[in-house]
Amino acid sequence: MPTLYECDLSIIIPVYNLEDYLDPMIKSLKEQKTKYSYEILWVMNNCTDRSEDIIRESGLGKILYCFIQGCGAARNTGIEEAKGEYIWMIDGDDYLLTDTAIEEGMNTAKGNLIIRVPFDSNGFNRPYFSMVWQYIIKREMIKGIKFPHIQPSEDDAFTEKVLAKVGLTRTTHLSLPSVGRPLYFYNYLRQGSNMYRVIVLGEKI
Residues 62/78, Cβ–Cβ less than 8 Å: no
The contacts of residue 188 (CB under 8 Å, 6+ apart) are 121, 122, 123, 124, 195
Task: Tell me the C-alpha distance between 154 and 164, whole Å.
Answer: 17
Task: Tell me the C-alpha distance between 115 and 109, whole Å.
Answer: 6
Instruction: Please report, for the chain, the start and end positions of each structural domain, with discontinuous segments joined by +.
Output: 7-199
Task: Tell me the C-alpha distance between 18 and 22, whole Å.
Answer: 6
Give how far Cα 15 sits from Cα of 22, 94, 139, Å. Answer: 9, 11, 21
In this predicted structure, what is the pLDDT of residue 190? 59
Q: What is the mean pLDDT of each run of 10 residues along the chain (205 residues)?
A: 81 96 97 98 97 98 96 96 98 97 98 96 83 96 91 84 96 96 86 51 48
In this predicted structure, what is the pLDDT of residue 46? 96
In this predicted structure, what is the pLDDT of residue 115? 98
Domain 7-199 carries which CATH code?
Answer: 3.90.550.10
